């Protein structure tokens, strides 16, 4: 059963001051959840949580998370604008979008955001609109099935987003020729153990993170949420292959 950070008397007091409907955010709970997540992945030196702006584009919440060490995961021009207004720029922004217009790539590059490319054809498009940065992320689609206990998230093999192994190999080579030096992988539905073998030997690196574990923040009030995030952090470190690709 969910618990609330206030009782009935406090709620009635709030209602007298603020007319309904309204949202109440638990600042202490949000800070605690962010810190719990960071502790779970502290084994990974340089780890940074990128909060999905689309999940709650409330400026006050975004500022709170940023003050507590989180970056922002943006997927649209509007979200980039919001971050810029809040003074959040540079590598504190991960720009990951689909069917991206030229102006959005240009805007992301202007802000110095880390760009996550969703498709192999986006490499040339980014080169023409904004230019290729030294650090680039590529979305990897492992294919196959990934069971989560429900069908809400689907399976990688059915997804239209992300690059295949072959496209990842070719994409990194092409990006290096265009000036990129550092690479990251973003995988939505993928097990860490799936990103091995061919990627490790073909590229020389496999830097597997936990981009989607940000959902632990939304689960703050679920029973045992902190313990779940901690277990996920330990499980990832067991399966992570961490080597580096050198030019």
Q: Please determine, for residue 190, whether its predicted confidence score (pLDDT) is greater than 70.
A: no
Contact 80, 105 (CB under 8 A): no
Q: In the chain, count of helices (H) and strands (E)?
A: 10, 6
Mean pLDDT of 77-87: 98
The total of other beta-carbon atoms located within 10 Å of residue 17's CB is 7
DSSP category for residue 170: H
Residue bearing the bigger pLDDT, 138 or 226: 138
Asked if pLDDT for residue 108 goes beyond 80, the answer is: yes
**Residue-level pLDDT at 151:** 55
β-bridge pairing 114-117 and 135-139: parallel
Is the predicted pLDDT of residue 226 greater than 50, yes or no?
Answer: yes
Confidence at residue 164, expressed as pLDDT on a 0 to 100 scale = 86
pLDDT value for 165: 85
State the Cα–Cα distance between residues 151 and 171, nearest whole angstrom.
31
Output the pLDDT for position 60: 97
Calculate mean pLDDT across residues 86-91: 97
pLDDT in tens, 2-50: 677 888 899 899 999 998 888 889 999 999 999 998 998 888 788 889 9
Q: Give the 3-state secondary structure of residue 64.
A: helix
The number of beta carbons lying within 10 Å of the beta carbon of residue 212 is: 15
Alpha-carbon gap, residue 179 to 172, rounded angstroms: 11
Q: In this predicted model, which residue has the larger pLDDT, 58 or 191?
A: 58
The two beta strands, 135-139 and 93-96, are unpaired
Global pTM reads 0.79
pLDDT average, residue stretch 224-233 = 57
Mean pLDDT over 198-214 rounds to 44
Q: Which two tokens stand for residue 214?
A: 């940000």
Distance CA 20, CA 188 (A): 37
**pLDDT tens digit string along 137-164?**
998 887 766 555 555 555 555 656 788 8
- Decide if pLDDT at 83 tops 70: yes
- Higher pLDDT pick, 199 / 96: 96
- Residue 229 is predicted with a pLDDT of 58
Closest CA to 114 of 122, 127, 105: 105
20-59 CB burial, b ≥16 within 10 A, e <16: eeeeeeeeeebeebbebbbebbeebeeeebbbbbeebbee
pLDDT above 90 (res 101): yes
C-alpha to C-alpha distance for 215 and 208, rounded to whole angstroms: 17
Give me 83's structure tokens.
Answer: 């971050």
* pLDDT band for position 100 (cuts 50, 70, 90): very high
Q: What is the pLDDT of residue 214?
A: 35
Q: What is the largest CA-CA distance in the chain?
A: 64
Q: Which residue has the higher pLDDT, 191 or 244?
A: 191
Task: Please tell me which of 25-29, 55-59, 167-171 the model is most confident about, judged by mean pLDDT.
Answer: 55-59
């Amino acid at each position: 059963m969910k618990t609330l950070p206030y009782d009935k008397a406090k709620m009635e007091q709030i209602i007298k001051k603020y007319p309904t409907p309204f949202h109440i955010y638990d600042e202490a709970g949000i800070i605690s959840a962010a810190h719990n997540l960071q502790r779970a992945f502290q084994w990974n030196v340089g780890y940074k949580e990128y909060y999905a702006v689309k999940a709650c584009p409330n400026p006050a919440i975004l500022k709170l998370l940023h003050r507590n060490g989180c970056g922002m995961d943006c997927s649209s021009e509007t979200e980039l604008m919001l971050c810029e207004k809040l003074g959040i720029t540079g590598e504190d922004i991960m720009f990951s979008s689909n069917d991206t217009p030229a102006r959005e790539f240009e805007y992301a590059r202007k802000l110095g955001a880390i760009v996550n490319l969703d498709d192999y054809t986006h490499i040339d498009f980014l080169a023409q609109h904004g230019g290729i940065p030294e650090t680039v992320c590529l979305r990897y689609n492992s294919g196959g099935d990934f069971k989560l206990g429900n069908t809400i998230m689907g399976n990688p093999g059915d997804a239209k987003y992300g690059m295949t192994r072959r496209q990842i190999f070719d994409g990194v080579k092409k990006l290096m020729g265009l000036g990129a030096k550092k690479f990251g992988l973003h995988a939505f539905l993928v097990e860490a153990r799936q990103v091995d073998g061919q990627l490790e030997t073909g590229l020389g690196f496999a830097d597997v993170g936990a981009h989607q574990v940000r959902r632990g923040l939304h689960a703050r009030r679920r029973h045992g949420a902190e313990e779940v995030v901690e277990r996920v952090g330990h499980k990832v470190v067991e399966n992570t292959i961490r080597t580096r690709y050198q030019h």
